[in-house]
Structure 1
Amino acid sequence: MLIVRAGELESAAQRLAAIESAIRSAHGAAVGPITQLVTAADDEVSAAIAALFGTYGQQYAGLSAQAAAFHGQFVQTLAAGAGAYAGAEGANASPLQTVVRDLLGVVNAPTEALLGRPLIGNGADGAPGTGQAGGDGGILIGNGGNGGSGVPGTAAHPAGGAGGAGGHAGLFGTGGTGGAGGAAFGGSGATGGTGGHGGAGGILGGSVGLAERADWALPVRPVLPQARAAPVGWGARIGRCWDGRRAVVAPAGLVVTGRSEPRRPGRGWPAGRVRPGAPGVGARMEGRRRRVWALIGRSAR
Structure 2
Amino acid sequence: MSFAVVAPELMRVAASDLANIGSTLSAANAVAAAQTTAVQAAAADEVSTAIAALFGWHAQTYQSLSAQATSFHDQFVQTLASSGTSYWSAEATNVEQTLLNAINAPTEALFGRPLIGDGADGQTVNGVGQAGGDGGFLWGNGGNGGDSTSAGVAGGAGGSAGLFGNGGAGGTGADADVSATNGGAGGAGGNAGLIFGFGGAGGTGGSGINSFASFGGDGGAGGNSYLLGAAGAGGNGEVGLGTSGFGGTGGDGGQGGLFGNGAAGGPGGQSTDGDGGSGGSGGRAGILYGDGDNGGDGGAGRFSSGSGGSAGTAILAGNGGSGGNGASSTATSGDGFGGFGGIGGTGGLFFGNGGDRGNGGDGGIGGAGDSGNPAGGQGGNGGGAYLIGNGGWGGVGGAGDGTGDGGDGGSGGDCGWLLGNGGNGAEGGTSSATGGAGGNGGDARFIGNGGDGAHGGDGTPDGASGTGGSGGILFGQNGSDGG
* TM-score of the two chains, using structure 2 as the length reference: 0.34
- Aligned partners of 1:48 and 1:194: how far apart in 2? 97
- Distance change in 2, residues 1:106/1:127 (3 Å): same
The corresponding residue for 2:72 is 72
Q: How far off its partner does 1:112 sit? A: 5.0
- Distance change in 2, residues 1:205/1:77 (3 Å): same
Root-mean-square deviation (Å): 5.1
Q: 2:199 aligned with 1:175, yes or no?
A: yes
Residue in structure 1 matching 2:169, options 143, 146, 152: 146
Residue in structure 2 matching 1:205, options 206, 218, 228: 228
- Aligned partners of 1:119 and 1:179: how far apart in 2? 24
Summarize deviations over 1:233-253 as a string: whole Å, max 9, x none: 99xxxxxxxxxxxxxx98898
The corresponding residue for 1:133 is 157
Q: State whether residues 232 and 250 of structure 1, in contact with CA within 8 Å, keep that contact through their aligned partners in structure 2.
A: no
The corresponding residue for 1:272 is 335
- Distance change in 2, residues 1:183/1:98 (3 Å): farther
**1:48-67 equivalence runs, <5 A:** 53=53, 55-67=55-67
Q: Structure 1 vs Structure 2: percent identity of aligned residues? A: 28
- Distance change in 2, residues 1:233/1:124 (3 Å): closer
Q: Secondary structure at the match of 2:137?
A: coil
- Aligned partners of 1:66 and 1:90: how far apart in 2? 36
Q: How far off its partner does 1:183 sit? A: 7.1
- Distance change in 2, residues 1:262/1:66 (3 Å): same
Flag the structure with higher helix content: 1
- Aligned partners of 1:208 and 1:252: how far apart in 2? 34
Gap runs ≥5 in structure 2: 1-44, 114-132, 150-154, 240-268, 273-277, 282-299, 309-322, 338-372, 382-410, 412-436, 444-466, 471-483
- Aligned partners of 1:126 and 1:218: how far apart in 2? 25
The corresponding residue for 2:141 is 122
The one-letter code sitting in structure 2 at the alignment partner of 1:218 is Q
- Distance change in 2, residues 1:75/1:233 (3 Å): closer
Aligned length: 210
Q: State whether residues 306 and 326 of structure 2, in contact with CA within 8 Å, keep that contact through their aligned partners in structure 1.
A: no
- Distance change in 2, residues 1:201/1:181 (3 Å): same
The one-letter code sitting in structure 2 at the alignment partner of 1:125 is N
Q: How far off its partner does 1:87 sit? A: 0.9
Structure whose CA Rg is larger: 1
Gap runs ≥5 in structure 1: 1-43, 221-230, 235-248, 294-301
Q: State whether residues 111 and 119 of structure 1, in contact with CA within 8 Å, keep that contact through their aligned partners in structure 2.
A: no
Q: How far off its partner does 1:85 sit? A: 0.7
Q: How far off its partner does 1:163 sit? A: 2.9
The one-letter code sitting in structure 1 at the alignment partner of 2:198 is T
Q: Secondary structure at the match of 1:164?
A: coil
Q: How far off its partner does 1:108 sit? A: 5.8
Q: How far off its partner does 1:67 sit? A: 1.4
* Higher normalized contact order (CA 8 Å, seq sep 6+, divided by chain length): 1
The one-letter code sitting in structure 1 at the alignment partner of 2:144 is D
- Aligned partners of 1:183 and 1:54: how far apart in 2? 84
Q: How far off its partner does 1:119 sit? A: 3.3
Q: How far off its partner does 1:64 sit? A: 1.0
Q: State whether residues 174 and 208 of structure 1, in contact with CA within 8 Å, keep that contact through their aligned partners in structure 2.
A: yes
Summarize deviations over 1:196-252 as a string: whole Å, max 9, x none: 3211112x23321123435664389xxxxxxxxxx8799xxxxxxxxxxxxxx9889
The one-letter code sitting in structure 1 at the alignment partner of 2:200 is G
- Aligned partners of 1:103 and 1:259: how far apart in 2? 47
- Distance change in 2, residues 1:92/1:255 (3 Å): same
**1:75-114 equivalence runs, <5 A:** 75-107=75-107, 109-112=109-112
The one-letter code sitting in structure 1 at the alignment partner of 2:199 is G
- Distance change in 2, residues 1:89/1:58 (3 Å): same
The corresponding residue for 1:30 is none
- Aligned partners of 1:49 and 1:232: how far apart in 2? 95
- Aligned partners of 1:193 and 1:150: how far apart in 2? 7
Q: Secondary structure at the match of 2:223?
A: coil
The one-letter code sitting in structure 1 at the alignment partner of 2:158 is G
Summarize deviations over 1:165-198 as a string: whole Å, max 9, x none: 211235223211223445789xxxx997554321
The corresponding residue for 1:228 is none
Q: State whether residues 144 and 171 of structure 2, in contact with CA within 8 Å, keep that contact through their aligned partners in structure 1.
A: yes
Q: State whether residues 143 and 170 of structure 1, in contact with CA within 8 Å, keep that contact through their aligned partners in structure 2.
A: yes
